[in-house]
Amino acid sequence: MVASADVRQVIVDMVGPDHVSPLFYKRAKDFRYGPSGVLATPMLCLRDAPQYTSARWDPDIDECFYTVVGYDQPEDVERYIRAAHSGWLPEPAAGTWVNSIWDPSQAPEGRHSATGWFFFPMASYYSAQEWEDIRVSYMERFLARWGEFAPNANHDNVVAMKLYTPDQMERKNLMWEGDCLLGDMAPDQMGPNRPWPEAADYRLEIPNLYLCGPSAYPGGGVHAAPGYNAYKVIAEDLALASPVTERGLLTCLMCTPPRWYDAVKEAINARLATLKEVPQDEFTIAVEIVGDGRDTVRRRGRRTPFPDPPRSGPVHLVPHLEEDDPSVKLNYRFTGPGTEFDEIAAGLADPIDAALSGTIKVRGDMRFLMRQAQMVQVLLEAYANDVDTTWPQGRPPYEEAG
């Protein structure tokens, strides 16, 4: 059984004290929520997207995905966070984004939707009536503050607006104290201490009960890492197939003839064609492999791109592109050391871990990849199972080159 609820719900509310040790039960009761992840979320329906005064110097500012308004200096941020963590409403400031600029489906034609977040006090700091008053008054104050940076952020441009506060998140989403991370991100609840040392390996005291939710390492957020990590432990315990690919994911140019890349492209697009729901757009991907002296590229610092196969199907692989190349619009670029790519291909390294740790750098719209989890899984399966890979200089791991 795999539990994705937070650890207090699992141990205290579901399992109960009769089925776990006093230590586990006490640790679950003492697990802290907030203040580090306590947020309030505004929602605004707009006639026009915000038009910032600073765009006179850089027009791209009006199309930024994420725009911070209300604090410009480090000391502003410090005051803001200290106030929220101490139970005081901070002076209005927020990170904002207008999704409809990039995804027009999120608003009627010619209109826009905006959202963002405020760091706020924990839900228990205010009464229900006080939160009700805050939902009205704070949005008015924030709109006035936003208007100092974007003059059209005013009532004439706002069709409707609403603030979602920590007390509502606690009631509706079971995010205790309004903590979106479902567990304070403090040193004693992070890394090997999350949720506590005796449960940091995702195993709970009850046989075959595992924790995979936001209370597990590495914590809450839209990344699915707790579930992915928990499955690796489950696979080990129950002798299931490992999520780490066995063979063929990626390899370097010198190890593989050009026809291999055609096979990769064809395998991916053939798999995608079997999905009922898959984006109909085309995706252009550049993969750049950097020699690190140990991999089969051998020459340290040399950059080895994938070649450009014929374009057929939604996924294309393109060679290395200069940053300012205007002729090709890239959706994603993957860059990393040749050794890492070789070890992924050999099943010795986990591609998701490599991306999360930054060993392989990923540039592109990560929100889209998260929404299209099924498509990403199909890509990995195609690489792993449908394409043969060879290593003319021997299968990794490699020893240090002299």
Residue 232 within a domain: yes
Domain boundary among 176, 207, 230: 176
What's the CA gap between 68 and 116, in Å, rounded?
9
Q: What is the pLDDT of residue 151?
A: 96
If asked whether residues 136 and 75 sit together in one domain, one would say yes
Residue 393 within a domain: no
Helices 166-173 and 128-147 sit at what angle, rounded to 10 degrees? 120
Please give the tally of structural domains in the chain.
Answer: 3
Is residue 153 within 8 Å of 67, Cβ to Cβ? no
CATH at residue 344: 3.30.1050.10
Burial of 289: CB neighbours in 10 Å, binned 0-12, 13-18, 19+: buried
Maximum separation of any 2 CA atoms in the chain, in Å: 71
Residue 343 within a domain: yes
If asked whether residues 220 and 329 sit together in one domain, one would say no
Is residue 167 within 8 Å of 134, Cβ to Cβ? no
Is residue 226 within 8 Å of 356, Cβ to Cβ? no
Residue 402 within a domain: no
What's the CA gap between 401 and 211, in Å, rounded?
42
If asked whether residues 211 and 321 sit together in one domain, one would say no
If asked whether residues 224 and 337 sit together in one domain, one would say no
Is residue 71 within 8 Å of 185, Cβ to Cβ? no
Residue 143 within a domain: yes
Residue 392 within a domain: no
Beta-carbon contacts of residue 199 (< 8 Å; ≥ 6 apart): 7, 24, 27, 211, 216
Residue type, 365: D
Is residue 340 within 8 Å of 293, Cβ to Cβ? no
For residue 101, the enclosing domain spans: 39-176
Beta-carbon contacts of residue 223 (< 8 Å; ≥ 6 apart): 356, 370
- What pTM value is reported for the model? 0.60
If asked whether residues 221 and 350 sit together in one domain, one would say no
If asked whether residues 44 and 172 sit together in one domain, one would say yes
Give strand pairing partners of 336: 289
Q: Are strands 67-69 and 94-97 parallel, antiparallel or unpaired?
A: antiparallel
* C-alpha of 303 from chain center: 27
Beta-carbon contacts of residue 22 (< 8 Å; ≥ 6 apart): none
Residue 33 within a domain: no
If asked whether residues 233 and 352 sit together in one domain, one would say no
Helices 373-386 and 258-272 sit at what angle, rounded to 10 degrees? 140
Tokens at residue 400, please? Answer: 């240090």
Tokens at residue 101, please? Answer: 């600029």
Residue type, 343: E
Burial of 358: CB neighbours in 10 Å, binned 0-12, 13-18, 19+: exposed
Residue 204 within a domain: yes
Across the 402 residues of the chain, what is the mean pLDDT of every consecutive 10-residue run? Answer: 90 94 94 92 95 93 90 90 93 92 91 94 95 94 94 96 95 91 91 92 92 89 82 86 45 40 64 60 66 50 39 44 56 75 73 80 69 61 58 56 44
If asked whether residues 149 and 197 sit together in one domain, one would say no
Residue type, 268: I
What's the CA gap between 332 and 51, in Å, rounded?
29
Beta-carbon contacts of residue 213 (< 8 Å; ≥ 6 apart): 3, 4, 5, 6, 7, 10, 182, 226, 227
Beta-carbon contacts of residue 298 (< 8 Å; ≥ 6 apart): 291, 401
What's the CA gap between 367 and 360, in Å, rounded?
18
If asked whether residues 267 and 381 sit together in one domain, one would say yes
